[in-house]
Structure 1
Amino acid sequence: MNKRDQAILENLQKFYVLDRDQLIQLHLKEQKQPITTCNRIMNRLTSKGLVKVDRTTRP
């Protein structure tokens, strides 16, 4: 797991709930495709069981 993923996990532990747009503002502003990158990171963290995702709402 890279430093960015660890920083995302730390922020999720600190704030408990963050949506995709908030994660992009905190960690992925300089990416060419921040939404796609965020979705891939969250899918990876979810599949590893490190994050639980609430899919009842959509951004």
Structure 2
Amino acid sequence: MPTPKIAIAFRDAGLAGIGAVFLGESLGPAAWGGMGFVVAGVAAMTIPARRAGAIAGKT
């Protein structure tokens, strides 16, 4: 289950996407790029971290 911080971070990108799709608003290249960074940041926060032993090949 996502934490409230992740939901808040993703809210703005989701609202911009909804506005572009359903309301016909246009977003510039910088806005689309920013939205991509937000989505990538949310994905990075939700992917579980690997253990140091797993990375080094240790169990």
Give the TM-score band, short-chain normalised.
0.3 to 0.5
TM-score of the superposition, structure 2-length normalised? Answer: 0.35
TM-score of the superposition, structure 1-length normalised? Answer: 0.35
Q: Looking at both structures, which has the greater relative contact order when contacts are Cα pairs under 8 Å and sequence separation is at least 6?
A: 2
Max Rg structure: 2
